[in-house]
Amino acid sequence: MRDQVTSLRTSVLRRDGTKAVVEIAGEIDVHTSGDLRTFLLALAGEGHVHIVADFSGVRFCDAAGLGVLVGVHNRVAAEDGSLRLTGVRPAQRRILRITRLDQLFRHYDGVDDALAT
C-alpha cells in the first residue's frame, strides 16, 4: 500500500503593521501541521500578532492542526494579538463547535470582517 502524501500551501496576502492576512490551502494534518506552525509563528515573530487566516482552501484539518491553531492563538494572545479564521467550511466549523474551539475562533464572513473587529 502506498502512503498518500498530503500537501499544504501557505502564502501571505497582506502585511500591514501588526496585521497579516494569510491564505492556507490543502490538508492540515500530522504531516503538515509543523509547517503551518512554523509559518504562522514566523509571522508573529516578525510582529504580525493579528493574523487573519483564510481557510477557504483547506480541505481537511485534524487534531494536530487544531493543536497548531490553539498554540498559535496562545502565542499571539500573549502579545494582545489574535488569530482569526475566515472561510471555514461547514464540516470544519462543526468540528470547532464539537471541540468548543468555536468560542476561541469566532466565525467571520470574510477577511474584511475579521480585520474590522
Number of domains present in the structure of the chain: 1
Residue 64 lies in a domain: yes
Phi-psi region of 26 (alpha: psi -120 to 50; beta: other; left: phi over 0): left
For 62, the domain range is 8-108
pLDDT in tens, 14-54: 999 999 999 999 999 999 999 999 999 999 999 999 999 99
Residue 31 lies in a domain: yes
pLDDT band at residue 6 using 50, 70 and 90 as cut-offs: low
Give pTM, 2 decimals.
0.91
Residue 2 vs residue 108, higher pLDDT:
108
Residue 104 lies in a domain: yes
pLDDT beyond 70 at 4? no
pLDDT in tens, 61-70: 999 999 999 9
What lies within 8 Å, CB to CB, of 93 at 6+ separation is: 102, 107
Residue 12 lies in a domain: yes
pLDDT band at residue 76 using 50, 70 and 90 as cut-offs: very high
Residue 15 lies in a domain: yes
* CATH code of the domain in which 27 resides: 3.30.750.24
